[in-house]
């Protein structure tokens, strides 16, 4: 019997073992982020031996690239021109790449972080987003509490944010999106919210009632929905608490909660998540969920081997 998540207009069938990797090329590692191009090919940015793995929409392996380039995969932004902006928090860089892996531009100095909480780009940057004008926004990240805005040629235009919990402050700005009007949406992970800014960094609103939002994907168009990956409990006291994640939640363009996909604690059964870290939606409305499940499992069960069947990429097919 198929496993269905969600209700009403937001029902999704879980496709277990969707990714068909050749023998010896299994991920065995986190899939930190996912992107989908105009042909619905899926780009899984992962922390295994082959950092970028490309599939067709049926999960058939097409190719891989990025070996020897990326230190620790973290974020994927698929630009409207079908190029990729890839964020490497272990290397403190953002790389602009073609779909076959040619590096067009590198922001940041590889392997060289700026001082912790200095506000200078970058210290473990996490994700990127493009405005309609082509400006690039970078969430930065684990070692900073900032958002940086760059011109299309890579010139730094402005930065905003500082550590804290007030509006405009961040506690791990983990993901970022930009809408058709140029507004900027930041997954402020450890403050359990998404903050909304205009393109110059002016605070406009915040969305609450979420738990550790990590993945953030916005559909294209003037009123695209938002898909939020909530990674759930981060301490022993709430690892097994139901209804706080890990899950995928869907919001309207104005922050109205439309659906929750998943209400059980982390687990290995179909329909359960471990740690939804990166999201993408294809042209048919199917959702791809990249999970940092290997890291999460290791943090929770220190010293224990990873269980068979620990997955890091799932597909949710929209039920019509």
pLDDT, tens digit (0-9, with 9 covering 90-100), for 271-313: 999 999 999 999 999 999 999 999 999 888 888 899 988 999 9
The predicted structure's pLDDT at residue 222: 82
The residue written with tokens 């964020």 in the block is: 87
Superfamily of domain 4-318: TolB, C-terminal domain (2.120.10.30)
Q: Which residues of the chain have pLDDT under 70?
A: none
The predicted structure's pLDDT at residue 10: 97
Whether 45 and 39 have beta carbons less than 8 Å apart is answered as no
The predicted structure's pLDDT at residue 275: 96
Cα–Cα dist 186/319, whole Å: 29
The predicted structure's pLDDT at residue 18: 95
The predicted structure's pLDDT at residue 308: 87
The predicted structure's pLDDT at residue 259: 97
Q: What is the largest CA-CA distance in the chain?
A: 53
The predicted structure's pLDDT at residue 51: 98
């Amino acid at each position: 019997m198929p496993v269905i998540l969600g209700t009403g207009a937001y029902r999704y069938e879980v496709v277990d073992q969707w990714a068909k990797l050749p023998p010896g090329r299994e991920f065995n590692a986190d899939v930190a982020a996912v992107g989908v191009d105009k042909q619905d090919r899926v780009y899984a940015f992962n922390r295994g031996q082959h950092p970028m793995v490309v599939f067709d929409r049926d999960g058939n392996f097409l190719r891989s690239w990025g070996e020897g380039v990326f230190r620790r995969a973290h974020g994927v932004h698929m630009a409207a021109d079908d190029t990729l902006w890839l964020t490497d928090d272990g290397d403190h860089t953002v790389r602009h790449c073609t779909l076959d892996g040619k590096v067009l531009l590198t922001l940041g100095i590889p392997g060289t972080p700026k001082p912790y909480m200095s506000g200078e780009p970058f210290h473990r940057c996490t994700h990127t987003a493009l405005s309609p004008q082509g400006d690039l926004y970078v969430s930065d990240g684990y070692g900073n509490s900032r958002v940086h805005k760059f011109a299309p040629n890579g010139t730094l235009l402005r930065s905003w944010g500082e550590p804290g919990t007030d509006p405009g402050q961040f506690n791990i700005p983990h993901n970022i999106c930009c809408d058709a009007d140029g507004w900027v949406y930041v997954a402020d992970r450890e403050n359990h919210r998404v903050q909304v800014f205009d393109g110059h960094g002016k605070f406009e609103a915040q969305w609450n009632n979420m738990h550790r939002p990590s993945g953030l994907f916005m559909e294209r168009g003037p009123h695209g929905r938002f898909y939020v990956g909530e990674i759930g409990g981060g301490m022993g006291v709430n690892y097994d608490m139901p209804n706080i994640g890990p899950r995928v939640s869907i919001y309207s363009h104005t922050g109205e909660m439309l659906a929750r996909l998943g209400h059980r604690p982390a687990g290995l059964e179909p329909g359960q998540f471990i740690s939804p870290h990166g999201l993408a939606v294809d042209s048919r409305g199917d959702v791809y969920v990249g999970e940092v499940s290997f890291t999460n499992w290791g943090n929770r069960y220190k010293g224990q081997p990873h269980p068979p069947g620990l997955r890091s990429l799932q597909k949710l097919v929209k039920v019509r």
